[in-house]
Each structure stands twice: as C-alpha cells, then as structure tokens.
Structure 1
Amino acid sequence: MSQPGRVVVGVSGTPSSLQALRVAMGEAQREGVGLRAVVAWVPVGGEIAYRRAPCPELLRIWEQEAQWRLRNAFDEAFGGVPDVPALELVSLRGSAGPALVAAADRPDDLLVLAAGPRGGLARLTHGATARYCVAHAACPVLTVPAPALLADLPRRLRHRRPVSTGSGTPLTLAC
C-alpha cells in the first residue's frame, strides 16, 4: 500500500514564498493531505568555506536561524503555526533546489514554490530554484506568482528575508 501524497512547500521568508505557503496550505486542506514546509540553508560562505574552517557552534547557529525563518514565515502568513494534522516543519542543509526535490520524494507529492520574478534580467539573478525543481522533481510542481502587492514595494525590498534578532545576549564562540 502506498503512502498518501503530501504538499511540500519551499519557504525562504520572502513575500513570494509566503504566498506559496498560503497556496500550499490551501491545497493541503482541500486535498486532505499533510503539509511539509521546508527551509533549505547552507553555511555562510558556502560548504567549501565551511569545510576549510569548520565551527560546529556556528553551524548550530545557522541551523537555528533557518528554523526561526520557517516558524516566522508561519507567523507572517497565518499569525502562528496552525494546529493542523500532519504538518511537518523541516530544515534541510543544502542548496534550495536539490533540498526541495529530495523533500518531495514521492510521485504523488505536490511541490509548491514561488515562481520568482519575471523579466529577463530578473531571471538571470532569481528564480533558479523554481527552474531546478521543475526540471528535476519526480512529482508535480506548482509555481506560485508573487502577490500583486509586491509590485508596490520598492525594488530593494521585494526579495528580502527577515533576520532573527536573537536573544540579545552576547555571542561567544570557541572554534
């Protein structure tokens, strides 16, 4: 017997990914399936830089930051993490495209993500994750256009992600 499908959504915290999260939640509720919200992260400077100078404490902080971004996305989209059955919050270390394709590993899953900006120049600098997922996913992929209100924001704010303010205590690292 095969497992029932899920809706898997890529979350980064940008306004476009919040729109994708809302659509994914609606699809999961409509279909009566679970929702798996995924945030992908890589160490600051990339994997190669981290391998040259590993610091487990920094790695823990970066993972906590990614988990915070995921919870914060639910706060911004719904006012908090909804109390719905079969909701899974997942933080995966790796590039967004491959991580999302790996998270949506069942043929009956639905992968939902932000489509990225339109226009030639924008496509060169953004939207690579959506293109990667459409090309490599083994399940259907739904790309969600940016919310209409995003066009009213100044260009420099359209793709910004929130940043954790932390606990306010000084940070001491021993790496």
Structure 2
Amino acid sequence: MKYPIVVGVDGSPSALQAVRWAAEEAKRRGVPLRLVNVYSTPIGLPGGIVEPAVVQKALNDQGKLWLNEARQVAHEVSGELRPQLVLMTASVVPALVKESLNASLLVLGTRGLGGFTGLLIGSTAVLLAGRVHCPMVVVRGTEPVQGPVVVGVDGTPKSEAAVAFAFAEASLHGTDLVAVHTWADTAVDTVLLGHPEPPDFEPAQQRAYETLAERLAGWQEKYPDVHVAREVVRDHPSRALLRYAGKARLVVVGTRGRGGFQGLVLGSTGQHLLHHAPCPVVVVHTEPDHQE
C-alpha cells in the first residue's frame, strides 16, 4: 500500500479535479502522489510547414505547464505532499498500464484534452480497465459526498476483489458499506406478461439474499468496524447501482461478471457507470481463472 497514487494529467478541469481527489487520498493513506502527462506527436504533419521538432518542444512545454498546475492543486490540498512529476512521449493506454504496475490507484478524470481526449469514451475505457494492474478510479461528480461506499456484488467469485476493496475503503473512511446484488428472471417475466395471477418471486429473492450473504462471508469478520447494509434488488445492475450512487462517496465494480466476455471485461454495467455515475467510480480488475 506504499505504492504511489498515479494520476493522469492533461490540463483539463476534469484532470485537475482528479488530482484534487487523489491528493486527498494520498494524504489519508500516507502514500506518494505521482502526476503523469503522456503525449505523442501527431501523425501526418505537413512536411516543410511544421517541423516535428518544433511540435515536440511545444507539446513538451505544454506538458510541463500542466504538470506544474497539477502540482499546485495537490499543494492546496496538503503542503506536505511532494508530488513526483512525470512527462513522457508514448501511447496513452500502454503507458498508463505500465504505470499501474507499481501504483496503489490509477486516477483519471471523466473528460480530457490532448493525449487523454476520449479516453473514457467507448472501447478505450474497456481496454484500460481490463489491463491495469491496480484499481482504476474515474473521478465523477463536482463535490465530494460524505456518504457510504457502494459495491456491486454479482453473485460470482469474480466480484471478490471489488468486495475486498470496498470493505477496505469503508474502513479507511470510517463510513458504511452498501452491498448491492441485483436479480431478475427476464424469461419468466416475458412468459407471465399479462398473466392474471401475479408470479411468486419470493423463492428467487431468497436465493439472491443467500448468494449475497455467501459473497460477503468472512469480510464482516475481517472489518468489524464497517456497518454493512445488504440490498437485494430486482432490477438491472446499472439502474440499481446508479440509484445508490446518488448518495455515495464512491461506487465500486469489478471488471468481470456474469456473461462477461474476455475481450470486453468491463461489461455494460461498468461502462454505464463510467458515463453516468454522480460520484467517483472504482473499477477493480479481477484476474482471469487459470483455465480461461
């Protein structure tokens, strides 16, 4: 846990907000803060009009300026922080994946400029979330909320890493943990649509409660200071988690779940939260099973 918190910096207001969040966490955890700007020279510059060396220097100077702005934001949070400033020429996703090898958290904003433009839109977010070696935090929302930590529990061992992270965060912040497990039987709903007798979902709901209890077993004993609210909801995971995220400090999801594909490990729920959650979203990567 003495690995630094790494923040992607690109000069955007969103990135500076991510720096502020990361600085608070670095101060709380007693770990270093590492601010990283990644840039690459645009391809296809018209020859003879703009010299590549000129563009390279401009990008380098701009990166230094952005890193200094980010350092100032970190100092505003805590004058004791001495952030490490890193400026590199590389492709963004591989560079951040490499940074995550020796990081406790990788922190990003929701929108960006320069090398981070579009980073959290579409497939790039999925690729990054599936490759990083530490929890990835996307700082959403404008003001920090002193609410609970919310974790999505999908009912499989794949969510174990997310549950572990969520318990540790709730304990660190001295706040409650809300564990959300959703269930639905779409096939039964379709068959019984318009049926005069209301279906009996009580057995399925009871199984869902039992599944959630199994996934939380042991963690309550490890973190006796954390009060856990167990929520079983008959709804789509994205909608359910968004409702709870409205009053949350942060929401935690895993990169894999039921029906997950190896090539798109973030899943639709995680992607939806990255785009719409009103609070920071933590994506915790789960290593694939050996047989996969």
Fold shared, TM-score > 0.5 on shorter chain: yes
Partner of 1:70: 212
Residue pair 2:255, 2:266 contacting (<8 A) in 1 also: no
Q: Which of 136, 143, 162 is 1:20 aligned to?
A: 162
Q: Distance in 1 between matches of 2:244 and 2:275?
A: 15
Q: How far apart are 1:133 and its partner, in Å?
A: 1.4
Q: Distance in 1 between matches of 2:250 and 2:183?
A: 21
Q: Which entry has the higher C-alpha Rg, 1 or 2?
A: 2
Partner of 2:256: 116
TM-score when scaled to structure 2? 0.44
CA RMSD of aligned residues (A): 2.8
- Report sequence identity in percent: 26
| Paired letter, 1:98 | R
| Paired letter, 1:144 | V
For 1:45, what is the secondary structure of its paired residue?
Answer: helix
Partner of 2:179: 37
For residues 159-170 of structure 1, what are the structure 2 equivalents within 5 Å?
none
Gap runs ≥5 in structure 2: 1-144
Partner of 2:151: 9
Give CA deviations for 1:66-117 in whole Å, capped at 9, x if unaligned: 1111001012x538696444310000110111111112212x5200010238
- CA 72–81 in structure 1, closer or farther in 2 if over 3 Å, else same: farther
Gap runs ≥5 in structure 1: 156-175
- CA 20–85 in structure 1, closer or farther in 2 if over 3 Å, else same: closer
More RCO (CA 8 Å, sep 6+):
1
Q: Distance in 2 between matches of 1:109 and 1:140?
A: 7
Q: How far apart are 1:18 and its partner, in Å?
A: 1.1
Number of residue equivalences = 145
For residues 92-103 of structure 1, what are the structure 2 equivalents within 5 Å?
92-103=233-244
Residue pair 2:167, 2:226 contacting (<8 A) in 1 also: no
Q: Distance in 2 between matches of 1:52 and 1:110?
A: 39
Q: How far apart are 1:140 and its partner, in Å?
A: 0.8
For 1:51, what is the secondary structure of its paired residue?
Answer: coil
